[in-house]
């Protein structure tokens, strides 16, 4: 008889720091839902869970590709039509000195590939605090040491330039910049972007510019600046995709544009492409939506922005009139990051909110936040009626617990 395996199979220790707070609360919400309660979800940034639809001309482009037999493997960097369309979009954003473009399975894969191709053991990437958990999860998987710089709540959640400068070490290889920002909704000023580019220039750092919300600018007087356009000599990897601007998150189509001095970035782009070849390709037929999205009608954005502005305003008004809550008005994307003046942890409050009021938001500590502060991340994608109901429930729990 063969011996029976009885020893526990232990996972890699480096995964201890991998967390994804946005979905980690789902098991508790599922338990509450099984008791017959309807959960109001303000936790996941999927527009298709609410009153938004993928533009029809994107769907038709994918359907045609499938009918035309585009169902085998695609070229590893992406189909030529998509690469050309992304290049033209980069040009429209003012990005010059483009050295490489590639299509990935969502921006998540682009981030994973680009950080993996850059980092050696013991090296660091500077990430914002609060951050989007994907970055810290990938760095934990790679065994990289976390090194966070502060976003300044008192300055509209702009990156704290002095803190960023202090955090740069000889082991630093790059800076992550999420603009517009998730989870705060901040939009960086041109002056600040130029200062960050100068820091990268001085210390030979790669800038990872996550700009997937670049068309979702909520205030008419604001403008999104691509940092790669402001610093054509600096190595910049600009991330974009179909998930947010074009309302197709489930297709998992993202991309990256590498710009900067050709000789400086060539070894890096070669390493990226070795990894891309190893994973074969991104979804093939969905890539045919890229050209349709970037070069086709943009009419859907008018309705999307109108809805988001109204729902942002409702969110800010609620935070201004609710005890224990304050909020910097979001200027981009569809997230708010209100501050909570409460005696217990924001993670405790969030769990109680699910159990008692059946509303699901994400605790600020799940994104990292300045010590001593407590926040919630709210997705304000639902319609005004749902948002008003959810906000009334949050206010009720605050009143019951803290007066």
Give 337-351 pLDDT, tens digit per residue. Answer: 999 999 999 999 999
Is the same domain home to 119 and 196? yes
| pLDDT score, position 315 | 98
The predicted structure's pLDDT at residue 330: 98
User: Is residue 29 domain-shared with residue 171, that is, in the same domain?
Assistant: no
Tokens of 77: 């960097």
Measured CA to CA, the distance from residue 58 to residue 208 in angstroms comes to 27
Q: Are residues 118 and 43 in the same domain?
A: no
Do residue 19 and residue 84 come from a single domain?
Answer: no
pLDDT at 189 over 70: yes
pLDDT digits (tens, 9 = 90+) for 284-300: 999 999 999 999 999 99
Residue after which a domain boundary falls, among 268, 295, 322: 295
Lowest mean pLDDT among 104-113, 140-149, 243-252: 140-149
Query: Residue 25: which of 325, 387, 348 has the closest Cα?
Result: 348
Are 216 and 256 found together in one domain? Answer: yes
For 85-106, how does the pLDDT look when each residue is reduced to its tens digit (9 = 90+)? 999 999 999 999 999 999 999 9
On the question of pLDDT at 11 being above 80, the answer is no
CB of 289 closer than 8 Å to CB of 248? yes
Longest dimension (CA), the chain: 76
Is 245 in the same domain as 326? Answer: no
201 and 326 co-located in one domain: no
Q: What is the dihedral of CA 75, 79, 84, 86, to 10 degrees?
A: -100
pLDDT in tens, 309-361: 999 999 999 999 999 999 999 999 999 999 999 999 999 999 999 999 999 99
pLDDT of residue 24: 65
The verdict on 247 and 355 lying in the same domain is no
Asked if 390 and 241 sit in the same domain, the reply is: no
Q: Is 123 contained in some domain?
A: yes
User: Are 237 and 107 in contact, with CB atoms under 8 Å apart?
Assistant: no
Domain end position, chosen among 243, 268, 295: 295
Kindly state the percentage of the chain with pLDDT values over 70: 96
72 & 123 share domain? yes
Instruction: State the Cα–Cα distance between residues 50 and 382, nearest whole angstrom.
Output: 6
**131, part of any domain:** yes
User: pTM for this one?
Assistant: 0.94
Percent of the chain with pLDDT over 90: 84
Average pLDDT across the chain, whole number: 94
Residue 314's domain comprises: 13-52+300-402
Average pLDDT over residues 168-192: 97
Return the pLDDT at 22: 58
Q: Does the pLDDT at position 270 exceed 90? A: yes
Residue 37 pLDDT level (bands cut at 50, 70, 90)? confident
In a domain, 1, yes or no: no
- CATH code of the domain containing 151: 3.40.640.10
Looking at the structure of the chain, the number of domains it has is 2
Q: Is residue 349 part of a domain?
A: yes
Q: Which of 295, 318, 341 is the last residue of a domain?
A: 295
- CATH number, residue 330: 3.90.1150.10
In a domain, 274, yes or no: yes
Whether residue 9 is predicted with pLDDT greater than 80 in this model: the reply is no
* pLDDT (mean) for 70-85: 97
Determine the distance from the C-alpha atom of residue 189 to the mean position of all C-alpha atoms in its chain, rounded to a whole number.
19
> Is the domain of 144 the same as that of 160?
yes
Mean local confidence (pLDDT), 381-386: 96
Count the Cβ atoms, other than its own, within 10 Å of residue 41: 19
d(CA 135, CA 122): 16
pLDDT digits (tens, 9 = 90+) for 104-127: 999 999 999 999 999 998 899 999
């Amino acid at each position: 008889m063969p011996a029976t395996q009885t020893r526990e199979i232990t996972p890699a220790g480096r995964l201890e720091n991998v967390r994804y707070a946005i979905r980690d609360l789902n098991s508790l919400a599922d338990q509450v839902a099984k008791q017959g309660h309807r959960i109001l979800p303000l936790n996941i940034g999927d527009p298709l869970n609410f009153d938004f639809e993928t533009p029809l001309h994107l769907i038709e482009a994918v359907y045609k590709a499938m009918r035309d037999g585009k169902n085998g493997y695609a070229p590893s960097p992406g189909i030529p039509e998509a690469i050309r369309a992304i290049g033209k979009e980069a040009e429209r954003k003012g990005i010059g000195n483009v050295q490489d473009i590639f299509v990935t399975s969502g921006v998540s894969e682009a981030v994973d590939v680009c950080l993996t191709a850059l980092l050696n053991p013991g090296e660091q990437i500077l990430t914002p605090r609060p951050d989007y958990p994907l970055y810290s999860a990938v760095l934990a998987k790679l065994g990289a040491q976390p090194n966070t710089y502060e976003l300044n709540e008192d300055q509209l959640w702009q990156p704290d330039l002095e803190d960023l400068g202090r955090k740069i070490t000889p082991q630093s290889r790059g800076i992550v910049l999420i603009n517009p920002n998730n989870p705060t909704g901040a939009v960086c000023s041109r002056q600040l972007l130029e200062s960050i580019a100068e820091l990268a220039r001085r210390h030979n750092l790669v800038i990872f510019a996550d700009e997937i919300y670049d068309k979702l600018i909520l205030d008419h007087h604001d403008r999104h600046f691509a940092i790669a356009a402001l610093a054509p000599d600096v190595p910049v990897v600009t991330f974009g995709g179909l998930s947010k601007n074009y309302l197709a998150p489930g297709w998992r189509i993202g991309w990256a544009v590498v710009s900067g001095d050709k000789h400086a970035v060539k070894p890096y782009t070669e390493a990226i492409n070795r990894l891309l070849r190893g994973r074969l390709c991104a979804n093939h037929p969905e890539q045919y939506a890229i050209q349709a999205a970037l070069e086709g009608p943009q009419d859907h954005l008018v309705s999307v922005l109108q809805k988001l502005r109204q729902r942002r305003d409702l969110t800010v008004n609620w935070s201004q009139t609710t005890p224990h809550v304050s909020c910097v008005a979001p200027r981009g994307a569809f997230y708010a990051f209100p501050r909570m003046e409460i005696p217990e942890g924001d993670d405790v409050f969030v769990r109680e909110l699910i159990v008692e009021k059946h509303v699901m938001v994400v605790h600020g500590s799940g994104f990292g936040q300045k010590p001593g502060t407590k926040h919630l991340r709210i997705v304000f994608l639902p319609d005004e009626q749902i948002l008003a109901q959810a906000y009334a429930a949050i206010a009720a729990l605050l009143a019951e617990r803290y007066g």
